[in-house]
Amino acid sequence: MSPAAGEEAPPGALALHGFLVGRHLRDGVLVGPDSGVRFNYRLGRFVKSYTRRFGWSDELTYLQTQGYWVSANWRLSSSPVEHDCRGLAIAASRGILARQRGDGAWDYPNPEWRGRVATVEGTWAAIGLLETHRRTREPAFLDGALAWHRFLEAQIGWTPAPGGAAVNYFAGGAGAAVPNNSALVLRLLAELAGATGDEHFLRRAAPMVGFLSAVQRPTGELPYNVDPGGAIRTAHFQCMQYSAFQALDLDRYARLTGDAEAEAVLERLLRFLRDRIGSGRVPYACDRRHPSVTYHLAAVAAALAAGAARGTPGCEEIAVRVRSELLARQDDDGGFPHSRRDYGFLTDRRAYPRNLAMILLHLLHADASVASRQPSATVSGARHGMARVR
């Protein structure tokens, strides 16, 4: 839900938007350092954070970043903002297309995963393209999203998993089944069905929803990953972040499709978030209190705001409290530090555009969702005259 025409966007979001434009916008796309994977995530980023005066040259262009950035700018495009948000969204979408390979994929930008194609990267790029197509009706943006979908089908694929099937994490091979990836791809499939009026895009949906339902724990939490045979491989990893992402993706998917089983998974997930956080702080994981990662707060606030908008009791109060804690961390220049109390005593104060773009979109989502109590139109509704998934 975007702000109404002429409605002022929340000041924290506007300050962050200005920070991203001034600090990280290069030729239409957001570019900058990232918390990364492997060595950089475990140690390198702290060295760089504590020696920022050296001006580390580690700028990367994540497609996931652009997907969030495009979506956030379209949300801001109807508000009085200093920058031309419509133009920013279109420019970033053109940047996404310019980086797309001939086979429809995008290379992973981080050199530690050189040569890989990640499901999340391409799916967020495609979601951004679909949003720009919805706003502009330019065929090139839909074509780019469709090209990614063809790659998803041909090169990434799905693996049999408990209850159905899970989308693979990378192109070229199966591994553990990761619920977060399947929740995101469910959203993409619903967006594609809505953009084209073709229900055929939803043919993979039922097995993925079945997988999520089958592996959901009695608490409502989805494990980080499971073996194809059903054994939990990793129960807890950044649990609040992933639960929030899954809730937001399933909320969008369910609103577009009316899928009753997905609604049930979502409701249990929202109650897990609500009950696990309660009146306390947002923990890093169910079994780890620290570190406290700033963009996790934004995702949790947005997910619980979506729960409040759906009428799930107890969500709104926590969403407002977590959002206030998030905004209390905002720097004077509009940016946010990445994390606190890593390993119990380290702080990462660098600005990472991928995570800041997430914060921006989630701030806008939380602000709009708490004020809304009306469900979105479904894919099966008046726009396309299609049957629901179930």
Query: For residue 82, what pLDDT band results from cuts at 50, 70 and 90?
Result: confident
Query: Taking residues 290-308, what's their average pLDDT?
Result: 97
- CA 186 – CA 226 distance, rounded (Å): 18
- Cis before 283? omega within 30: no
Per-residue pLDDT for 368 more than 80?
no
Q: Is a pLDDT exceeding 80 seen at residue 284?
A: yes
* pLDDT exceeds cutoff 50 at 74: yes
Q: Where are the beta strands (DSSP E) in 65-111?
A: none
| Partners of residue 339 on adjacent β-strands | 293, 348
Q: Among 57-61, 298-302, 384-388, where is mean pLDDT lowest? A: 384-388
Residue-level pLDDT at 388:
40
Strand partners of residue 93? none
| Confidence at residue 50, expressed as pLDDT on a 0 to 100 scale | 86
Proportion of the chain above pLDDT 90, given as a percent: 78
246-285 burial code (b ≥16 CB/10 A, e <16): bbbbbbbbbbbbbbebbbebbbbbbbbbbebbeeeebbbb
Question: pLDDT grade, residue 44 (50/70/90)?
Answer: confident
Rounded to whole angstroms, the Cα distance separating 72 from 17 reads 9
Instruction: Choose among 118, 114, 145, 128: nearest CA to 30.
Output: 128
Tell me: the pLDDT tens digits for 300-320? Answer: 999 999 999 999 999 999 999
Check whether 120 has a pLDDT greater than 60: yes
Q: Cα–Cα–Cα angle for 330, 334, 337, nearest 5°?
A: 45
Which range of 56-70, 109-123, 210-224 scores highest in mean pLDDT? It is: 210-224
Which domains does the chain possess?
11-370 (1.50.10.20)
Confidence of residue 36 (pLDDT cuts 50, 70, 90): confident
* 383 pLDDT higher than 80: no
Strand partners, 118: 170
Given this model, what pLDDT does residue 255 score? 97
Question: Burial of 194 by CB count in 10 Å (0-12 exposed, 13-18 middle, 19+ buried)?
Answer: buried
| pTM over cut 0.85 | yes
Contacts of 3 (CB under 8 A, 6+ apart): 9, 75, 76, 78, 79, 364, 367, 368
